[in-house]
A and B are shown apart, each in its own frame.
Chain A
């Protein structure tokens, strides 16, 4: 896309009660990304328009939205990626309730995070360190690249189409759980919770999460399928279970439990009961 040309955008404007796609036109420049275009609209036409963003470098995972129906980080999506003459449609993530314009309520993710017990490491080695080989942590470091953009959650059928947020933790937390389960230092047996509380069985391996991950984490193959196998081995294979029992190999780790907190779940967020904030400036 050459400089001094114009691009058309259709951006969702509205809130939890409804809204519409509004047309905008912005001047483009070399290297422009969709988030730049949204900022142009904010600066020139609609300062009250809501959009989340932070780093504008693909590191923080704040500016997730759906561009022409596909979840994307707006800061990493070049305008030149799209045909010149067709409007680019920018809408909020579909799987989460809309707050305003491109901003959605992702607080459910933070509630799930709080249900996952933190690492419980084994004691340090004699010299006060924990020796871990790079090849032992490579596979977990892949999961820890996650920037929590929640686009995998947005695109997951269990969440997006069936809204089973209560039964399934979603791909983002499957990789978190896999990272803990594979962590060389962790001493908790997380398998019962992975099956019951976090619902690993509900994933039907369509790999949509893997496709959409901006960090290119192979979520399904490297995290979810191994978790499914771990859980299945212990719960559904009687021969294996018996063999393990005979050999004394049944899990020795104490089971993980959902952490109990002094403060009430969820993490505090704006009171949602009274959204009388279509308010006038002065209350």
Chain B
């Protein structure tokens, strides 16, 4: 037993984060007979995965038999504008069907085809109907399934527990555990482990208009960065095209892409379908040019007919649709509250809408005073997902710090410059499992190393520092400032001046009072440190990449650059003096047989 003055838990593998990726990693390691600790900031089953709506992408080929991993791989690479780590995109496309089928074994009940198999729906950037789903609550089905299976595999779950630092011992190059506190009591806790998996999700809470829960504060990215790991692709923040824009209370709340998958169309104030005016060269060959063709494709592809028509532009990848909405609003053709209209009412029957999109129906009825079976929704872009994150080895998900792994949204590489809808739920299953597997192997092969008491003491001092500050703004005010700054300077359209100003902006250091017992303000100060680290990384990476690609759009460099920026990822890491270093690294070469797969059509 390690000697610390705090409550200490020993595990072979420690998993931080209990969304889909964390649960899947913990299940894998636990099933191998190892002692696994699973730490989460909220109650189990409340992680942001629960919000995922439209579906999980896997080339099962149940609706379109021509689908296979190669098509899925091609779609993913193209959607990511070829900045993806090819090996991750390949593993993902190959393994996703097994991971989905496995969920069925653990109790998940996806919607069915007429012949009793898992039904799949159309989604943006996916050539064929590919998303296994349960109405518009797929994430809930997945997290509940993983949770109900996971708790019986022997893992220990530490709920409402926040990790503030990874521990790397006196050597500093291998993870030895983590330091954190119980949200309930405010007491500190130490985890001593042979290996650690980070699965902490995204950073949406750094933006004013976002679709994320309070937990998405970039914890894993910041923890890994501070412990010596590298971040990558941080300039790519996905703005989901369809967030609610009205009323103010729910601004940013997600509307599933499944609405468009079920036939919904985007229209401006003149009732004109907007997406036909925004079809980029890259997608011109596969996108319908007329409403008739788009509707024919929708009708046929959803009824099992092999359609000769091309796909509707309403289902172009998210970066393209989000910028199209941004442009329409800027040109004065938006809806009354600064979005555009999303119409499903004239496209499907009221019964269909209630059956296929029940959560959307209720969300709008109860929070937006809109009946979506009779009236259009008002929608606009909302910060949703970060493609960037912790740089990992594509085969093992290990970071640059030995014994430290990362999976799911907090890891980088799988999605490149833009993620396709549905690929995050499959990402967290595929790479959650791989991270859990290799963290378990690492734990089997490597004895634990001692905790360093000095390191723990430093972590403790850092955590209580906000109480010692006599003056300083309220942490919620600091957060509000940060969100406004990120929205303004590092938003959907960027330029050199804004990004530079953003880096100079300072949201200040918060102070806090009161006991540590379930103190929300104190918790916020710790999340703020993480958000600030990750926000800086996003601004620095955005400043360096002088082109527009995927989710990263520069007004001063509006074109995609084929010469230089097509070939490099932007990396961020902490220098010895504590400053953030930003550098370019060449993409790994794609083997010829994989190149061939990419070129097939």
Q: Is A205 an interface residue (CB 8 A)?
A: no
Within 8 Å CB of A230, what residues of B? none
Contact code string A100-119 (vs B, CB < 8 Å = 1, else 0): 11010011001001101111
B433 at interface, CB cutoff 8 A: no
Shortest distance in angstroms between B141's beta carbon and chain A's nearest beta carbon? 6
B517 and A277: CB pair below 8 A?
yes
CA distance A53 to B359 in the complex (A): 18
Among B104, B118, B366, point to the contact of A58 (Cβ < 8 A): B366
CB <8 Å contact, A129 and B46: no
Residues of B with C-beta under 8 A to A145: 137, 140
Contact B512 A47 (CB under 8 A): yes
Having A36-B249, A267-B156, one finds 10 other A-B pairs with CB under 8 Å, namely A47-B476, A47-B512, A57-B363, A99-B184, A103-B518, A121-B104, A144-B140, A263-B154, A270-B161, A277-B184
Let me know if A59 and B50 touch, CB within 8 A: yes
19 contacts between A and B (CB under 8 A): A30-B247, A31-B368, A36-B249, A49-B520, A59-B50, A62-B42, A78-B366, A103-B184, A103-B518, A119-B107, A141-B135, A145-B140, A262-B154, A263-B154, A267-B157, A268-B158, A271-B185, A275-B517, A282-B468
User: Considering only CB atoms and an 8 Å cut-off, how many residues of chain B contact the other chain?
Assistant: 86
Contacts of B591 in A (CB 8 A): none
Interface size class of A (residues with CB under 8 A): 35 or more
Q: Which 3 A-B pairs have the closest CB atoms?
A: A31-B247, A47-B521, A131-B116
B45 at the interface (CB under 8 A from A): yes
A26 at the interface (CB under 8 A from B): no
Contact (Cβ within 8 A) B7 A271 = yes
Looking across the interface, which residue of chain A has its beta carbon closest to that of B182? A270
For the complex formed, measure the closest distance between the CB of B13 and the CB atoms of chain A, giving whole angstroms. 14
Q: Which of A129, A268, A283 lies in contact with B159, CB distance below 8 A?
A: A268
A137-B112 CB under 8 A given contacts A30-B247, A101-B518? yes
Pairwise interchain contact B474-A269, C-beta atoms closer than 8 A: no
User: Do A47 and B249 form a contact, CB below 8 Å, given A60-B50, A147-B140, A277-B187?
Assistant: no
Chain A residues near B368: list those with CB within 8 A: 31
* A125–B23 CA distance with the chains assembled, in angstroms: 28
Q: How far is the CA of A60 from the CA of B47 in the complex (A)?
A: 8
A115, chain B: closest CB distance, angstroms: 10
For A134, the closest partner residue in chain B by CB is B112
Residues of A within 8 A of B362 (CB): 58
Smallest CB separation, A67 vs chain B (Å)? 14
Q: Is A238 an interface residue (CB 8 A)?
A: no
User: Quick check: is A9 within 8 A (CB to CB) of the other chain?
Assistant: no
B112 lies within 8 A of A54 (CB): no
- Contact between A55 and B213, CB atoms less than 8 A apart: yes
User: Distance in Å from the Cβ of B17 to the closest Cβ of chain A?
Assistant: 13
Within the complex, what minimum Cβ distance (angstroms) separates A278 from chain B?
5
Residue A33, interface by CB 8 Å: yes
Judging by beta carbons under 8 Å apart, are B42 and A183 in contact?
no
- Which parts of A122-170 form the interface with B (CB within 8 Å)? 128-134, 137, 140-141, 144-148
